[in-house]
Amino acid sequence: MNATSGNAPDSFLKLENFLCFAIYSTANAVTRAYQPRLAALGLTYPQYLVMVVLWERENQTVKSIGEKLSLDSGTLTPLLKRLESAGLITRRRDTVDERQVLIGLTDDGRTTRKRAEAIPIAIGQAFGCTLGEAKDLRAELMTVRDNLIASIDKAK
């Protein structure tokens, strides 16, 4: 019996055993990997995700974008204002329900999509795994993510 035996609460507190650290650290690496390519489009990684959501469908509310990305208005409002200043999106109050703000794309915002198409392919190669492996990993992560979110919600 020694420190490498792998049982006891001890081993749960070792960094090398942490799934959460693997997730955290990989996420940081993803952002760093995207950064040089996105900088060429004048985007940060979270801004890019917002643009992806809008490229799929224009004129969504802040809430709708927030649900898709699991981000709240505290994060999105300033981010969207920056995208607006950059001339990529539009923000206007919904005339029917004035609580809502509708986010649309400018011509520039739509055009940027073309330039963005090469990025996921390049990053996919940097991941160093096959499309099938990526798909499996993505599915497993989304399951874990949904479980975590469910347990957070349950605690409320």
Q: What is the DSSP annotation of 5-68?
A: S--HHHHHT-GGG-HHHHHHHHHHHHHHHHHHHHHTTT--HHHHHHHHHHHHSSSEEHHHHHHH
The answer to whether residue 109 forms part of the interface with DNA (CB under 7 A) is: no
CB under 7 A: which stretch of 2-10, 56-64, 105-113, 130-138 binds DNA?
A: 56-64
Site mask, its own copies, residues 134-153, x = CB under 8 A? Answer: xx-xx-xxxxxx-xxxxxx-
Among the listed residues 91, 104, 110, 127, the single contact to DNA using CB under 7 A = 91
Distance CA 99, CA 97 (A): 5
Residue 82 or 113 with smaller CB distance to DNA: 82
| Contact predicate 43/51, CB 8 Å | yes
With CB cut-offs between 5 and 8 Å by kind, which of its own copies, DNA, none does residue 66 bind? DNA
Residue 57 or 99 with smaller CB distance to its own copies: 57
The answer to whether residue 74 forms part of the interface with DNA (CB under 7 A) is: yes
Q: Which strand (E) or helix (H) includes residue 93? A: strand 89-93
